[in-house]
Structure 1
């Protein structure tokens, strides 16, 4: 299958799923208006009529949900192994230090509705009944992974460990030699790089503060936080757009997890609209970036550039603490040699912008 065939097939699948979802929603609305809003006595006063209405709404709601989940194989794609322009284009803060980073991973708590006898398992550290979802996204704020079936009391590291060791489609896959950025709630391990612990990290801690990084640990954490902030932005956008994720929907728990998955797929679908034209444009942009990378010695794919002195990003060491120190040492040496980098204090992703319809 060539490039055009792949995109035509993906476009057809997305179009079919959206049409099916729209059709079932229209049919459900029609039944709702006839049975619930009609002036027939049994619809207004009869409990039986109400239950029939609720049953029909439930049927069509789940049909719409199922139609949206058909987008899964075309909207939730693995991350690209090509270096993103956000890293390749920022030679002061991100390149070459994070050149093999493919995105960020984070967990998030979503309100859940479960029976009272399940409250203890689903109560998170803030006392809220929730499910703890694990997500990964690339530097275009598109989700590349979603795991939504853990209770709110589960720790982030436990959920990630489950995602790593799952089999089949539920497994989080990290391409060889690549890694995701994670926060301090996760462990340093192959494929996942966290910041230094007990060191200033979050961007809010740096706002309105003229104090420059004091050492390599603070500098590493600042740049790590700035790059990892893409997952915070993606999750904030997801929750602010799909209000159902902020309420305790009284559906079976399995349906609640499917709702989260559907919202993630719709998030990606919106960002991927007009995908054929956009991807043709992006292909041209990436080709230009690759050519520029070759000219200035930036490696933008999995092939080894042949520079043994700069291979820590490709041939990742077994000891991830040492790998982290190696990045921080090089980063600090370049920083001291070049003076204060004003770009470190400028966070372009901190705004909570909406989808651009």
Structure 2
């Protein structure tokens, strides 16, 4: 007969007692529940928003349906099909349909509010609403990001560069980059990790976009308190420096004697790099440097508008999010994916981002987009790195600045624009 020593027997006894106690507590929790489903929520099929106002908008009023969901009915149905394999549930109770989960999530992301209010509207418990939101946002990311937020390849970078050249007269530019703070409620036991320089708590969304206001690179989740250089080099900066993100090889631009690398454009918060152009610092700049700063600002307007569209359409981003940081990251990721998904189709983009919704320019005269009327701007990050660069990086900036005052590189109104500003 197998024998065990006294210490082993004591250890096994403790393990059995612990397991038994945990099982008892779990069963007691369910035994002590007053209801399997709260009585008021048992009328969900008859009184809930999904069966009433949402169903009415879906069948009778496409404009109101867009205001509610930020997408067309066809795009909603397409998204339901994409999410069904990821969200279909099996339960002893009647599970919420994928369509209802998506409707709840889109309403919350598009209009903000509390999860309690969302639960009352859809006749579900607050805890159920919170679980549905997180699971659906994670499913949206898994379903959409491989197609609508995939990392660009060389052919994609060239297409983006063509867009910036034709719309903003910036040769070899493969995007505009910026970072924004996403306000959150202070997480428990987080100390000052998320406490930023504006004395609020936040995580950081760093993103680049193309000339059509589609996001191409994103990094979500840096602590609001993280050092400026750390935010920039966390993902995107490090990926470019290490070769994980590869731009096309440098090319000679007509009017230039040397090859010019492909590059991103950023504001004064970013450090100068061979692949990242920032404005010249200081005041009382020369005409050439002032023109360079003006021309760069035209290209940077794309990321400003992209963030403006994002925050005005998905208004949860304009409020202080009451959720754990990983849940907030899921919300923000879903908003970015939905932005690109909706803009990818003409039927959705016609409502989502009409021509008057973004800034437009005619011979240097800027007409501001309607998104600005909604006060939707997200708060920018501070300086993202020391203004220290290699000699080659500074020389490339000077070369591009010189190109902007050549016959091949100038725009007719730039001299008047710069002198009127100064």
TM-score bracket for the superposition, by shorter chain length? 0.5 to 0.7
**Match in the other structure for 2:405:** 332
Query: Are 1:147 and 2:147 matched, yes or no?
Result: no
How far is the alpha carbon of 1:133 from its aligned partner? 1.4
RMSD of the TM alignment (CA)?
4.0
Specify the alignment match of 2:271 in structure 1.
187
- Per the alignment, in what secondary structure is the counterpart of residue 234 of structure 2? helix
**What is aligned with 2:307?**
235
Q: Is residue 185 of structure 2 the alignment partner of residue 113 of structure 1? A: yes
Q: Equivalents in 2 of 1:259, 1:267: separation in Å?
A: 12
Deviations 1:57-112 (A, max 9, x none): 2222223212211211111133422354544436xx72xxx321111110001111
Moved more, 186-195 or 225-234: 186-195
Tell me the residue number matched to 2:323: 251
Question: Is the 8 Å Cα contact of residues 195 and 221 (structure 1) preserved in structure 2?
Answer: yes
Q: Over residues 108-151 of structure 1, what are the superposed CA-to-partner deviations in whole Å (9 max), with x where a residue is unaligned?
A: 01111233543522222222211121111011100011111111
Distance 1:174 1:124, change over 3 A: farther
SS of 1:160's equivalent in the other structure is helix
Q: Is the contact made by 1:157 and 1:185 (CA closer than 8 Å) also made in structure 2?
A: no
Aligned with residue 148 of structure 2, among 72, 75, 80: 75
Shift of the 172–153 alpha-carbon distance from structure 1 to 2, 3 Å rule, reads: farther
**Do the aligned partners of residues 227 and 27 (structure 1) sit closer, same or farther apart at CA in structure 2, a change above 3 Å counting?**
closer
Which of 321, 336, 344 does residue 264 from structure 1 map onto? 336
Structure of higher CA gyration radius: 2
Partner residue of 1:17 out of 76, 82, 87: 82
Structure 2 unaligned spans of 5+:
1-76, 88-97, 108-115, 250-261, 351-389
Change (3 A) 1:343 1:254: farther
Q: 1:88 to 1:179 in 2, by over 3 A?
A: closer
Query: 1:1-357 to 2 correspondence within 5 Å?
Result: 16-17=81-82, 22-25=99-102, 53-69=125-141, 70-79=143-152, 80=156, 81-82=158-159, 84-89=161-166, 94=169, 98-115=170-187, 117-118=189-190, 120-164=192-236, 173-177=245-249, 178-199=262-283, 214-273=286-345, 319-334=392-407, 340-341=413-414
Shift of 1:256: 0.4
Q: Normalised by the size of structure 1, how large is the TM-score?
A: 0.62
CA contact (8 A) 2:195 2:201 kept: yes
Tell me the CA shift for residue 199 of structure 1: 4.3
SS of the residue corresponding to residue 299 of structure 2 reads helix
Q: Report the CA distance shift for 1:116/1:84 in structure 2 as closer, same or farther (over 3 A).
A: same
Deviation at 1:343, TM superposition (A): 8.8
CA distance in 2, matches of 1:129, 1:135: 20
CA apart distance, 1:241: 1.3
- Unpaired runs of at least 5, structure 1: 1-11, 44-51, 201-212, 279-316, 346-357
How much has 1:23 moved relative to structure 2?
Answer: 4.3
**CA deviation profile, 1:208-229 (whole Å, cap 9, x unmatched):** xxxxx85111100000011111
Deviation (angstroms), 1:55:
2.2
Match of 1:210 in 2: none
Q: Distance in 2 between matches of 1:336 and 1:237?
A: 30
- Contact 1:103–1:180 at 8 Å: present in 2 too? yes
TM (norm. structure 2) is 0.53
Contact 1:156 1:186 in 2 (8 A): no
